[in-house]
Structure 1
């Protein structure tokens, strides 16, 4: 297998997941800043131009960070990060999906519509008129999650560290660099973020 890698939070999620799982794969870096992901030869592998992408041994391609991480979790040896029971996996998927829809999607769409507009306006449809509202939506999601974590749980999906935590951490770290910092009033998420920041996998 081989991971097509680049800068940005999406590849960071997969690299951090792999580091947590002890998975080491060959990587091929694609120059996202220069738009290499939007042209051949990369688009012959992945016509959508997304990064990262996982090339399997038979040459087929997996995209979407959740799908890549779940595939690696299910096929590689070691303790599963998604959980060992149907309930644990369902809870991890539930919170991963929730973080993705309520925080990650508005955060990243707002970035492309505002600070990232010069880079993305010629690559995809951007919505500069919606940037402020999207940023507010991401903050609403974080407020809700902070309230949920007031029950004392250690990680997003419960007692065990999982993909939901990795997804949220990588995109909050990204947000802090592009004009969407974590609100210091969100104490529970702030404490969680500080704990996760100490994990060696964050540098992957």
Structure 2
């Protein structure tokens, strides 16, 4: 399989999921800083939205969106499970992944693009007004407080083993740290969880 790869948290999610599953990927590096993803041939041949990552299957199909790619990996290689082994466990894993995606990753990304990332993203995308950035970041950090409370008795967000939600959360927590935010702060569970996830071999993917 071929992964159209770049810097940033989203491609890292796919690389980590593949590493957890033992799936080998042929990486094709795309220069997002140079805008390679926002013009042809990438938009015409890979992803018309101009976003990364994109997975090209062995059959030649292109799959985008990190959680969809994670579901595809789960279908191909069910063990170790990253979504769950029963209908109930899969529902819980998907619930937490959606909460993290919509409640943390999305507002964090939009807040970054509206503020620190504005010079890069404003010429390419519709970005939120700069004055919206603090509120968007506050939404994201509220979700971290929620996770810190709700997951206090667990090792990982959906239970005793990592799921796609944990991978998504790690990628965006580390992204927040890299751009000058402090996502961990006094959140004790999050700090312990972050140490556990960062120690996994897949975290280096």
TM over 0.5: yes
What is the CA-CA distance between 1:75 and the residue it aligns to? Answer: 1.4
Cα distance in structure 2, aligned partners of 1:174 and 1:51: 15
Aligned pairs (5 A) from 1:1-204: 1-44=1-44, 45-76=46-77, 78-127=79-128, 128-150=130-152, 152-204=153-205
Rounded to whole Å, the distance in 2 between the matches of 1:179 and 1:59 is: 39
TM-score of the aligned structures, taking structure 2 as reference length: 0.95
What TM-score comes out, normalization by structure 1 length? 0.96
For residues 58 and 20 of structure 1, the distance between their equivalents in structure 2, rounded to whole angstroms, comes to: 22
Alpha-carbon distance, 1:185 to partner: 1.1
**Residues 135, 180 of structure 1: 8 Å contact kept:** no
Could you list the per-position Cα deviations for residues 16-70 of structure 1 after superposition, in whole angstroms to 9, with x for gaps in the alignment?
1111111102111111111100011111121101100011233221100000011
Q: Conserved in 1, the CA contact under 8 Å of 2:157 and 2:166?
A: yes
**Deviation of residue 183 (structure 1)?**
3.7
CA 1:198–1:129 in 2, change beyond 3 Å: closer, same or farther? same
Give structure 2 stretches of 5+ with no counterpart.
none
Query: Which secondary structure state, in structure 2, belongs to the residue aligned with residue 161 of structure 1?
Result: coil
- Structure 1: segments with no counterpart, 5+ residues: none
Check whether the contact 1:38–1:49 (CA below 8 A) recurs between aligned residues. Answer: yes
CA distance in 2, matches of 1:178, 1:62: 28
Q: CA deviation at 1:77?
A: 6.0
Check the 8 A contact 1:103/1:142 in 2, yes or no.
yes
Runs of 4+ in 1 over 6 A off after TM superposition: none
The CA RMSD measured in Å over matched residues stands at 1.1
Greater CA deviation, 124-133 or 180-189? 180-189
Aligned residues between the structures: 203
